[in-house]
Amino acid sequence: MKNIAVIGAGTMGNGIAHTFAQSGYNVQLIDISEASLERGINTITKNLDRMVAKEKISEADKTATLKKITTFTDISEGVKNTDLVVEAATENFDLKLKIFKQLDDVCDDNTILATNTSSISITKIGAVTSRPEKVIGMHFMNPVPIMKLVEIIRGYSTSDVVTSTIMDLSKRLGKTPTEVNDYPGFVANRILMPMLNESIETLYNGVAGVEEIDTVMKLGMAHPMGPLQLADFIGLDVCLSILNVMYDGFKNPKYAPCPLLVNMVAAGKLGVKSGEGFYDYSESRKAEKVAKQFSK
């Protein structure tokens, strides 16, 4: 494999593009607008600058990585002559089906189609194509350039050859691929999301406050980040979407999202991306923290 297309220049998409390009692959990054692509490239550039500052890569490595990435707003153009397409669009079932139907029409017959979905059925996505044996899940973790795990999810029809190819490719990216089967939430989110949801329930029921809950889990369970802070980092809308997929898939009330989570998403309190979730990430809050530092 030499040529990789990545659909979506958001947090996950630009991280996946960065990782492939830094590993020497030609990357065709696709999004619906030039503004989104510009933001994605700017994020990649900033992340590479941090790596240069920490002496993890050289300035020449940074330049070479950026040269490997070409941007497109047209999917048909962006996926030409690619060996693999990795879809990293919004976690929306209907949107993903629409994208994969289009990819099936415009991609070469031998192109493998992967999705970065964190919960949606690979089998259902593959079923809308004429090549379900070539459809597979590549669930990268955020931040992609740093996190080692990639969940490799086989759909019902995914072939052994495609699975082996993607496992080997992930290793060449310096990742640790782990093969799992296609059930709602896979492994990572099937275990993680109920924990986050229970943390939100604990807050909702008045057992403890936000910082207290996170402190207990960080100091008592050695978690690097508290569950409520982690939910903010993931995006509360994403957490809600994944919980809904699992609840619909298993019909088990233990996956039902907490009413507080539902209300916060409805109110637009999505976490870091919106500037407020369980914590305040607004510019005024940042200024307040800086002022406190200088006053000490």
Binding site members for NAD(+): 8-13, 31, 91, 96, 118, 142, 273
Q: Are strands 69-72 and 149-154 parallel, antiparallel or unpaired?
A: unpaired
What string of DSSP letters covers 51-74? HHHTTSS-HHHHHHHHHTEEEES-
> Residues with catalytic annotation?
118, 139, 151, 189
User: Which helix (H) or strand (E) segment is 43 a member of?
Assistant: helix 34-53
Enter the tokens of residue 255: 């996956």
Q: How many other CB atoms sit within 10 Å of the CB of residue 120?
A: 24
Burial degree of 97 (CB within 10 A; 0-12, 13-18, 19+): middle
Alpha-carbon distance values, 41 to 18, 19, 28 (Å): 9, 13, 12
C-alpha span between 115 and 133 (Å, rounded)? 14
Annotated binding residues: 8-13, 31, 91, 96, 118, 142, 273
C-alpha span between 261 and 278 (Å, rounded)? 10
C-alpha span between 90 and 235 (Å, rounded)? 12
Q: How many other CB atoms sit within 10 Å of the CB of residue 50?
A: 12
